[in-house]
Amino acid sequence: MSYTNGLDKPSDYMRIQTWSGNNSADREITWSETDNMQPDWIWVKRRSDTANHRLADSVRGATKILRSDTNGAETTESDDTLSFDTNGFSVGSNSGVNKTGDTYVGWGWKAGTSFTNDASATGIGTIDSAGSVNTDAGFSICSYTGTGSNGTIKHGLSTVPHMIIQKNLTSGTHAWNVYHKNLTSAGYNLNLDGNYAEFTSATTWNSTAPTSSVFSVGTDTNANESGSGHIAYCFAEKKGYSKFSSYVGNLSDDGSFCYTGFKPSFVMVKDITTAENWFMYDNRRPGYNYNHYLTADTSGAEVTGDNWVDFLSNGFKLRKGQTGTNRSGDTYIYIAFAENPFTTSTGVPACAR
């Protein structure tokens, strides 16, 4: 449900589930919530042991797998993510998603409305695109075929994206590209599959910030290889549901407080000044507040053992004087999604855990 100032019910658009593997060839992973939400983008990670991240979406098809911790091409896996279901998703017997005795987490986002754009016919952009979009949630999945020349691509959101995660799908090695509104400029880039700081790359986003209708790509083969398929996950900030911003570290156990306007369910943090991992936290994995983290750019198991970050009713606070998420003077970007808005349209406040 949406309202004029934001979203009352974030779980209509983003959910998180944990499970223990059982090696079943067709395992239904059902959301814990009592009502249904069919996802269009699923991101799965084995927690208890080393394994690649698994990313699948409804635009490419459930069995088409990408891995955020590698620069490899899309693969087709018959025993990995199998389907997007009415209230969750199904996985196969692959050890990366369902090995007996191992534990897993899955993050799911809803898009749902198909779109296509013939750029020459509509006059929107210069490169044809197609995908799935949810304008209430500010999320779209956008596929396109590269041209090798500077161009623009319709993303479907009708508002300016604040973050774009993009991947070349074809054979060979092609790094993941990440645009975020708090990078130094659109002439900078990040790699999701690497721990690098932000770096200049005029040919990735063509040094041009996205607009309410299109995002730009340059001649970089990772972003716009001629004849190759590409996928882009585009996000626009929505009050009470999502936040894309930055903070500065202080290397203190009394770290920065990041106001989001909601109680977070999911936070991912990246140092853009110094080479550090992409740190992932959520409210489904144990710890007080959230001691357990995964890193999007590595295949490593879940790390436990310290109070890294507190999820509060209106944001999150860094609680550890360590360099990965709180190096003194470094700038960090983050992406956050809500469990509850700070105050709903009916005036109901969220409570910290």
CB 145 within 8 A of CB 224: no
What pLDDT was estimated at residue 347? Answer: 47
What are residue 231's DSSP bridge partners? 143, 167
pTM for this one?
A: 0.95
Shared domain for 15 and 90, answered yes or no, is: yes
What pLDDT was estimated at residue 3? Answer: 38
Q: Which domain holds residue 210?
A: 113-235
Q: How far is CA 321 from CA 255, 309, 325, 328, in A?
A: 7, 11, 8, 9
Render pLDDT for 245-266 as a digit per residue (tens, 0 to 9). Answer: 999 999 999 999 999 999 999 9
Asked if residue 49 has pLDDT above 70, the reply is yes
Mean pLDDT of 272-292: 87
Asked if residue 308 has pLDDT above 90, the reply is no
Domain boundary among 218, 235, 252: 235
What pLDDT was estimated at residue 61? Answer: 97
| Domains of the chain: total | 3
Mean pLDDT of 67-85: 97
Phi, psi angles (nearest 5°) of residue 96: -70, -15
Shared domain for 199 and 274, answered yes or no, is: no
The verdict on residue 188 lying in a domain is yes
Residue 60's pLDDT band (cuts 50, 70, 90): very high
Shared domain for 122 and 228, answered yes or no, is: yes
- Bigger pLDDT: 188 vs 322: 188
∠ Cα 199 200 206 (to 5°):
130
Residue 349's pLDDT band (cuts 50, 70, 90): low
Shared domain for 98 and 149, answered yes or no, is: no
Asked if residue 342 has pLDDT above 80, the reply is no
Mean pLDDT of 329-348: 80
What pLDDT was estimated at residue 7? Answer: 81
Domain boundary among 235, 265, 286: 235
- Rounded to whole angstroms, the Cα distance separating 201 from 220 reads 9
The verdict on residue 268 lying in a domain is yes
What pLDDT was estimated at residue 291? Answer: 75
